[in-house]
Amino acid sequence: MKRIVLLLTAVALACAATATAVWPHARSNAATAFSFAVAGDLGANSNTSAVLNAAAGSGSQLFWAMGDFSYSQVTPESAWCDFVHARLGASFPAELVTGNHEDDGPDGLIGNFASCLPDRIGGVQGTYPNEYYVDYPPANPLVRFVMISPGLNLNANGTAWSYKQGTAHYTWTANAIDSARAAGIPWVVVGMHEYCLSLVNHSCFVSDDLMNLLISKKVDLYLQAHDHAYSRSKQLALSAGCTRISSTSFNSACVADANPSSSYTAGNGTVIATVGSGGDSINSQDTGLAWAPYFQTFMGSNNNATYGFLQVDVSDTQLSAHFVRGSGGSYTDSFSLTKSGSPSPTPTTSSPSPSPSPTTTSPAGQASVRSSATYASTASEPSSSVPMPTGWQPGDVVYVGYELTSSTGSVTVPAGWVQAVPQFRSASSTSSLSGVLRRVMQAGDPNSFTISHSSGRFAAVSAAIQGASSTTPEDVTPTSDNNTGVAFPNAEIPSITAVQQNALLLTFAAVRNGTNGAVTSFAPPTGMAEVADISSAVSGTSNAAIEMSALALSSNAATGIKNATVTSSSGTSVNPMGSAIAVRSAGG
């Protein structure tokens, strides 16, 4: 398998090394805030250009290029540096991390790239760009970035650097993290090009020892590339039930937090982000892998392929990250790490998708969202292969909300599924159709299923609900609203009155965007947490979009009418619909 470049940025958390440790107080002279961007597997093509231009306009103060730079799409190495300078600026800090395409070739040599893209932060400790750390801002740092090169052929004899326990590189990395904490630096990020855990069927490149070192030290953000896609884990940590994470299997005790809103408490564990979406061709992701349940979300050639970067906004109390589109599809992701005792604001999300609000943890015995997935067609099609949420378990109730943009179209209910919300049309267009499918998952079920429908653009969001009644999943009959008289930017969700006091409310906002080529995104209804939203992005025609949000109910009063807020990349001609489901909790 061709090695895929890993573009990482590592921000290691300045927390104590043990699970019982206490956060050091942030220094009073620490900088207020800054942002950085990270992407790997770049190239020098129109997608790379779009990603770099988006980074230049994002307000980020740094860009971390996490390996596999030119792919010889321009030569020599100085031509690629000129390509970057033309988009980010000649003096912009574009910091390098070595990849496998330039350690010993074949697409240039790392020393030549470093000559024309040198460190511009200052204060580097170690050997730039192979193994070093740097604190930012330099005077009063908020973050220590630790950048390393496991598995790359950087030895004088052409062999790979090893980061296994007991090696000099392993010890150097541990010391770089520990000294940041001792200095009271609020956050530490660790980055490297190659991956260990990712959603491709390949063995760990960097060693399980290194991965477990970073997780044992509760590095906040662990960045990698080499997998030409984007994926992001839940918050992972070692514990009594998880003394070591294996790169070939899944242990639920190693998941510290699977909060569907992705609003995590800093110091409780590590989030791994694979950001190999910088411009070179995107590959598929495999959610059927044994270790896939560690991941919360993903993007690949089989799921809304989108070139982009991860932007991370940093303050002394919060690290908030979001995926920013450069070109291609419309994928978004956002997550945050907030120190205990600090306010937990809504995670920042880049355009086109507003951020979800944090979700309150569901009471014991109440149904909750385990995970979600999205699908958007890339052309008009007569059927769609919709992925199941990562890590679903037998007995989970999976709901799939969809929007079909097709003239008087229809959807065929797949075998083994039922219509929780029967398909219905928007009042403002017969070409806009929505509905919700449901299945109680069984052992051996596939990780995707095909929905046949009239030819058109199709968008779907799915969520695995844990703790729901498997015999009567809907507490009451779901409600739907064709949005008669509802004006842009609203998509109205009808009220629903549950029987249970602890039901889980799921809402769905669906839209046909009538402006050809326009992409739709959503802000969730007030007080609700967005589970997922997705839009097709087919040029020259109208597009489909759907959003799902969730709320743990505490009474059986009517929920009242709610509104999701619609954003269109062009125009305001949208045809909205809305529906609501009260999911019955098994323990209620």
Same domain, 553 and 428: yes
Same domain, 321 and 389: no
In a domain, 351, yes or no: no
Q: Does residue 223 have a pLDDT over 90?
A: yes
pLDDT at position 354, please?
A: 30
Return the biggest CA–CA distance within the chain.
72
CA distances from 7 to 194, 219, 255 (A): 8, 17, 24
In a domain, 354, yes or no: no
Same domain, 39 and 135: yes
Q: Is 50 helix (H, G, I), strand (E, B) or coil?
A: helix
Same domain, 230 and 87: yes
529-535, strands of its sheet edge to edge: 479-481, 574-583, 504-513, 543-552, 529-535
Tell me the C-alpha distance between 432 and 486, whole Å: 15
In a domain, 353, yes or no: no
pLDDT at position 184, please?
A: 92
Residue 334 phi, psi dihedral angles, 5° rounding: -150, 145
CA distances from 432 to 173, 519, 523, 540 (A): 54, 15, 20, 17
CA distances from 23 to 207, 279, 294 (A): 29, 38, 26
Q: What share of the chain is helix, strand, coil (3-state, %, to 5)?
A: 10, 35, 55
Same domain, 221 and 325: yes
The alpha helices in 89-124, defined as continuous H runs, are 110-116
Same domain, 243 and 384: no
Q: Does residue 349 have a pLDDT over 80?
A: no
- Of the three residues 338, 354, 388, the one that is the final residue of a domain is 338
Q: Does residue 10 have a pLDDT over 80?
A: no
pLDDT at position 12, please?
A: 34
Same domain, 448 and 323: no
Q: For 6-12, what is the mean pLDDT?
A: 34
Q: Which domain holds residue 399?
A: 368-583
Contact 67, 193 (CB under 8 A): yes
Same domain, 114 and 20: yes
Helix axes 168-182, 208-216, angle to 10 degrees: 10
Contact 438, 418 (CB under 8 A): yes
Q: Does residue 198 have a pLDDT over 50?
A: yes
Strands, E assignment, 55-140: 62-65, 94-96, 125-127, 131-136
In a domain, 165, yes or no: yes
In a domain, 288, yes or no: yes
pLDDT for 359-393, tens place per residue? Answer: 333 444 789 998 889 999 999 999 999 999 888 89
Tell me the C-alpha distance between 504 and 525, whole Å: 15
Tell me the C-alpha distance between 36 and 141, whole Å: 13
- Band (pLDDT 50/70/90 cuts) for residue 300 is very high
In a domain, 318, yes or no: yes
Same domain, 373 and 334: no
Question: Which residue from 511, 493, 521 is spatially nearest to 582, judged by alpha carbons?
Answer: 493
Q: For 519-544, what is the mean pLDDT?
A: 91
Question: Which residue from 201, 75, 76, 96 is spatially nearest to 147, judged by alpha carbons?
Answer: 96
pLDDT at position 342, please?
A: 56
Q: How many domains does the chain have?
A: 2
Q: Does residue 357 have a pLDDT over 80?
A: no
In a domain, 459, yes or no: yes
- Burial label for 395, CB within 10 Å (0-12, 13-18, 19+), is middle
pTM: predicted TM-score of the whole model, two decimal places: 0.58
Q: DSSP of 384-407, one letter per residue? A: EEEEPPTT--TTPEEEEEEEEEST
Same domain, 299 and 421: no
| Ramachandran assignment for 41, one of left (phi > 0), alpha (psi -120 to 50 degrees), beta (any other) | left
- Band (pLDDT 50/70/90 cuts) for residue 561 is very high
- Band (pLDDT 50/70/90 cuts) for residue 185 is very high
Tell me the C-alpha distance between 35 and 25, whole Å: 21
Q: Does residue 345 have a pLDDT over 50?
A: no
In a domain, 130, yes or no: yes
Cβ neighbours of residue 352 under 8 Å, at least 6 residues apart?
A: 325, 330, 332, 519, 520, 521, 535, 567, 569
Distance of CA 372 to the CA centre of its chain: 11
Question: Which residue from 328, 324, 274, 315 is spatially nearest to 296, judged by alpha carbons?
Answer: 274
Question: Which residue from 136, 118, 5 is spatially nearest to 60, judged by alpha carbons?
Answer: 136
pLDDT for 441-500, tens place per residue? Answer: 999 899 899 999 999 999 999 999 999 998 899 999 999 999 999 999 999 999 999 999
Q: For 504-521, what is the mean pLDDT?
A: 94
- Band (pLDDT 50/70/90 cuts) for residue 588 is low
pLDDT for 224-255, tens place per residue? Answer: 999 999 999 999 999 999 999 999 999 999 99
Q: Does residue 508 have a pLDDT over 70?
A: yes
How many CB atoms sit inside 10 A of residue 533's CB? 28
Contact 119, 95 (CB under 8 A): yes
**CATH number, domain at 76?**
3.60.21.10
pLDDT for 542-553, tens place per residue? Answer: 999 999 999 999
* Mean pLDDT over the full length of the chain: 89
Q: Which of 16-30, 205-219, 338-352 has the largest mean confidence? A: 205-219
Considering only 149-153, 357-361, 527-531, which range has the smallest mean pLDDT? Answer: 357-361
pLDDT for 90-142, tens place per residue? Answer: 999 999 999 999 998 899 999 999 999 999 999 999 999 999 999 999 988 99
CA atoms within 13 A on the CB side of 524: 24
Torsion of CA 453, 402, 279, 298, to 10 degrees: -120
Q: Which residues are paired to 551 by β-bridges?
A: 505
- Of the three residues 338, 360, 393, the one that is the final residue of a domain is 338
- Band (pLDDT 50/70/90 cuts) for residue 266 is very high
Helix axes 46-56, 77-88, angle to 10 degrees: 40
Q: DSSP of 55-77, one letter per residue? A: HHTTT-SEEEE-S---TTSS-SH
Same domain, 158 and 103: yes
Cβ neighbours of residue 494 under 8 Å, at least 6 residues apart?
A: 479, 480, 481, 561, 578, 579, 580
Torsion of CA 11, 271, 328, 293, to 10 degrees: 160
Same domain, 242 and 144: yes
pLDDT for 392-440, tens place per residue? Answer: 899 999 999 999 999 989 999 999 999 999 999 999 999 999 999 999 9
